[in-house]
Amino acid sequence: MNRFLELGGLAPSPFAGLVLADYGADVVRVDRPTEVFGPPRDTLCRRKRSIVIDLKSPSSRDAFLALVKVADVLIDPYRPGVMSRLGLGPETLAKLNPRLIYAHLHGFRPDGFYGKAAGHDLNYLAVSGILSIVGRKDEKPSPPANILGDFAGGGLVCATGILFALLHRHSTGRGQVVTANMVDGSTYLATFPRQQHGHLNMDRPRGENLLDGAAPFYEVYETKDKRFVVVGAQEPQFYAQLLRGLRLDKEKDELPEQWDRTQWPVMKTKFERIFKTKTMNEWRAVFDGTDACVSPVLNWDEVERPYKPLVELSESPGLDVSVQEDFPEVKKGQGCNEVLSEWVPDVQKKMRVDDRTKILSMVKGRDVRL
C-alpha cells in the first residue's frame, strides 16, 4: 500500500487524496495547528487519518521529516515557493527520500503571468478561456459551480499525474516532481471545444452553437411542474424518436429540416410550449426506455443509488463508496498513533502528541538528518 502525505488544503488537493484513498492508498492529512478560512469541515476525508504538524517548530518538523522519509507521495497545495522557503521543498525532501513523488497542485500556471496570485475556481476558468464559452446568448458567462476547475482540472488531474509518476518509479525506482495547475488542467479538458472553435457548429458567439443552447434538439426545457428535462437528440434516428414522443411525427414533413439553423428559434419555441404541457414525471413516462435522448434533471436525492467508485476495476476494485455522509469528518490528529505505529514504529517512542494542540513532535533530539 502506497503512503501519501496530504498537506492540509481546500477542495482540490483533498479531492486528489480522496480519489487515491478510494483505491487503497494510505492517505494521511497533515494539518496545521491554526484554523484556516474555508468550509467548516473537510468533507473530502473518507478513509484518511490526520497528524498535526507545526512546520515552524524544529521538533515538529523533525517528526514530519521522519514520515516523509518513508512516504511514497507528498501532495503540496500551497502557492509556489512556500514549502521551499520553509526549507521543505522538493529539492530538499528528494535528498531525504529519493523515491518520493512530490506533487504540487497550483491554481494558476506557476511560471505564468498570474503565477503567484491568489485565486479560486472561477478565476482559473476565466484565464483558461473556458469561462468565455459557458453561458447563454447575450448573457454574461455563467459560473459552473466549482466542479470544472477545482475538481476536474485540479484534483483529478493531480491524481492522474501522481499515477503517471508511480508508473515511472516502478520501472526506474526514482521519484520526481509532479506539477499540476488548475488553469492548464482545465484547458486540457477543453481540448475538443478548443480544437473545434471556428469550425462547423462551433463557429458563432456563445449561445449560438450546437452544444451551447442554440439547437432545439440539444437544450434544457421547463416542464409543467417547474422541473426540467434535457434533450440531446442530435442523430436523425434519435431526433425522429423525439418528434414521436412530442407527437410531432405526423407533421414531420411540414416541420423545418432538423439542421436548418435559421429555423432553430422557431422549433425551440414549439418544443418549449409542448414540454410545458406535462410534468417531468409525465415526460419520463413518455421517454424513459426510448432512444429519444430525453432525460430528467434530477436533484441530489433522486439520483440512482448506490454511489459508485470513479471507475470499475475487475482485478483491483475501488473501495466501497456507496454511503457518502453529508459531512464525514476527520478531526485533527485522529488516527495519529496508528499512523506512527504503522509508518515509523522504530522512532514512534521518540515522538509525542500534545494533548491540547495535537501537534506531533520529536522529543529526543533530531534523529532525521538531511
Q: What's phi and psi for 101, nearest 5 deg?
A: -100, 115
Distance of CA 358 to the CA centre of its chain: 30
**Contacts of 69 by beta carbon, 8 Å cutoff, 6+ apart:** 96, 97, 368
Determine the Cα–Cα distance for residues 80 and 84; give it in Å rounded to an integer: 8
Other CB atoms within 10 A of residue 229 CB: 20
Please measure the distance between the N-terminal and C-terminal CA atoms of the chain and give it in whole angstroms. 25
Other CB atoms within 10 A of residue 299 CB: 8
Q: Is 184 annotated in the active site? A: no
- Residue whose grid cell is 521519484: 175
Which listed residue (76, 150, 184, 212) is catalytic?
Answer: 150
Determine the Cα–Cα distance for residues 66 and 5; give it in Å rounded to an integer: 12
CA angle 202, 206, 212 (to 5 degrees): 70
Amino acid letter for position 109: R
Query: Which residues participate in catalysis according to the annotation?
Result: 150
